[in-house]
Amino acid sequence: MGAAKILVVGPLGVGKTTLIGTVSEIEPLSTEAVMTRAGARVDTTPDQSKTTTTVALDFGRITIDGELVLYLFGTPGQPRFLPAWRDLAKGSLGALALIDTRDLESSFDALGNLEDLGLPFAVAVNVFPGSPTFTDDELRTALDLLPDTPLVFCDAREATSSVRALIALLRHLIDVTESA
């Protein structure tokens, strides 16, 4: 029985809390707070619909194949919290980076930091209604992904879809470990 710490990263409103809540077999710990006026100036989502934001982190647990326990840490996506999630990255094996195709640039901070940290990651495009659609190649180019970085599409509200994204990450972590 192994255990691994995995980060779920991405910008505000991309679906981190949703994904962790969808897959977690324990009551997910989520620290949501109504946005403060200070936050409201900078914390915006493309459709302006979000009224709460994660101020600290989300935490959940999922057991894969009855033997591998993943501890999921959802890390705040706002740029001003990036130093905090650098600390959270300590001891983690890898990350699932969530992407919203309505605003690809909002993911650049998180992806850049994963690269700076040398943390292996998979990219999961969380599909929202009305999201522009891109081909894999277009997304890889726009996000400047390495050829071996997994790119999957998911719906964070669906367990099967979210678990599939985590498994794509796990396969990648195994590949990276074996080729090291």
Ligand X SMILES: Nc1nc2c(ncn2[C@@H]2O[C@H](COP(=O)(O)OP(=O)(O)O)[C@@H](O)[C@H]2O)c(=O)[nH]1
The footprint of Mg ion (CB under 5 A) covers 16-17, 54
Q: Among 6, 7, 9, 16, indicate the residue that binds ligand X (CB under 6 A).
A: 16
Q: Is 129 in the site for ligand X (CB under 6 A)?
A: yes
Q: Is 78 in the site for ligand X (CB under 6 A)?
A: no
Q: Does 128 bind ligand X (CB under 6 A)?
A: yes
Pair 32, 52: CB distance under 8 Å: yes
The answer to whether residues 73 and 88 touch, using CB atoms and an 8 Å cutoff, is yes
121: part of which helix (H) or strand (E)?
strand 121-126
Q: How far is the CB of 163 from ligand X (least distance, A)?
A: 14
156 binds ligand X (CB under 6 A): yes
Size of the site for ligand X (CB under 6 A): 17
154: left (phi over 0), alpha (psi -120 to 50) or beta: beta
Type and span of the H or E element at 106: none
Complex with ligand X: residue 2 or 49, whichever CB lies closer: 49
Angle, helix 159-178 to helix 16-23, in steps of 10 degrees: 90
Instruction: Count H helices and E strands in the chain, helices first.
Output: 6, 7
Q: Which is nearer to ligand X, 50 or 171 (CB)?
A: 50
- Which of the listed partners (Mg ion, ligand X, none) does 14 bind, with a CB threshold of 5 to 8 Å by partner kind? ligand X
Q: Smallest distance from the beta carbon of 66 to Mg ion, in angstroms?
A: 28
Amino acid at residue number 2? G
Q: Which residues are near ligand X by CB under 6 A?
A: 10, 12-18, 50, 54, 126-129, 155-157
